[in-house]
Amino acid sequence: MHSKASQDGCPTWIDAAGRLHSPAGADARIVSLVPSLTELVFDLGLGERLVGRTGFCVHPREALRAVPKVGGTKDVNLARIRELAPTHVLVNMDENRRETVDALAAFVPHIVVTHPNTPQDNLVLFALLGGVFGADAAAARLAHELRAVLDEAAALRAALADERVLYLIWREPWMTVARDTYIAATLAEVGWSTLPAVEGGETGAARYPAFDWDAPWLAGVERVLLSTEPYRFRAAHLAEVARLAARPALLVDGEMVSWYGSRAARGLHWLMALRRGLA
């Protein structure tokens, strides 16, 4: 997702799928199919250009009340998007289906594909959306904030011993995250190393493996983290998980761990405070 000049000298930006994007202009009409990107659109000062979003796009709550819903991240209402006549649709390789993106490409001029896998990848994401939609100053501000918190997280990690954790995202079946996911990379920034030590690849189910509680690698887990999304783990689940894992269990805000974009800096601040409180 880097920028370059086209043959006519006009700047272009390359997204995660290798697609070239030119400046959109002030009349851009944006549909976002990713909750974290929807939040980023507003934090870049582009909220007035957003004409559609998913039902899972909930931040900023009040501002989104007036923005039409177009289904979910997986079950997208293509007919509704066609009615909204967007010039750009924002998608993510993990959260949206390839067939949905292919169908959208038949009638949407520009599909912007994203795929951040580490907190550092947000720097490129800011530059991409800031460049395409003319919000370079806001993108630079977000990048400055993120670089500062990444430095702070590195200092914290240097001061504390790493801890091996199991991060739960689903129940029945029990599911966790591979190490090459955004979630695992975010946890690693504050010294939480996820188990199992597997990689799931660019896309697909292997990025979020199911497991049984008799798996041999569970012996290395020191703490279990229960995420509030996508499964709605609540305090009531802590005793069950602590019993199954025979390890301390902690409920964590899934938005602060898994949402990229403008929430990345806030999420890392939140995680650092959590780790300090447990040290």
Query: Among 166, 164, 161, which residue's Cα sits nearest to residue 233?
Result: 166
Q: What are residue 138's phi and psi, to 5 degrees?
A: -65, -40
- Cα–Cα dist 19/172, whole Å: 38
Which token pair is 211?
């497991």
Q: Are strands 3-5 and 11-14 parallel, antiparallel or unpaired?
A: antiparallel
Query: Among 13, 3, 25, which residue's Cα sits nearest to residue 134?
Result: 25
Region class of 112: left (phi > 0), else alpha (psi between -120 and 50), else beta: beta
pLDDT in tens, 139-153: 999 999 999 999 999
Alpha carbon distances (Å) from 12 to 68, 189, 261: 29, 31, 20
Segments of 97-228 assigned E as strands: 110-114, 163-168, 192-194, 223-227
Q: What is the pTM of this model?
A: 0.94
- Note down pLDDT in tens along the chain; length 279 residues: 455 555 556 799 999 999 999 999 999 999 999 999 999 999 999 999 999 999 999 999 999 999 999 999 999 999 999 999 999 999 999 999 999 999 999 999 999 999 999 999 999 999 999 999 999 999 999 999 999 999 999 999 999 999 999 999 999 999 999 999 999 999 999 999 999 999 999 989 999 999 999 999 999 999 999 999 999 999 999 999 999 999 999 999 999 999 999 999 999 999 999 999 998
Q: What's the pLDDT at 10? A: 79
Structural domain boundaries in the chain: 30-138, 158-277
Q: What's the pLDDT at 41? A: 98
Query: Among 264, 267, 259, 221, which residue's Cα sits nearest to residue 57?
Result: 259
Segments of 181-241 assigned E as strands: 192-194, 223-227
Q: For the domain bounded by 30-138, which CATH number is listed?
A: 3.40.50.1980
Q: What's the pLDDT at 157? A: 97
Cβ pair 65, 86 in contact under 8 A: no
Topology alike, domains 30-138 and 158-277:
yes
- Cα–Cα dist 235/124, whole Å: 36
What's the N-to-C CA distance of the chain in angstroms? Answer: 37
Q: What's the pLDDT at 279? A: 85
State whether CATH 3.40.50.1980 applies to domain 158-277: yes
Which token pair is 150?
């990444």
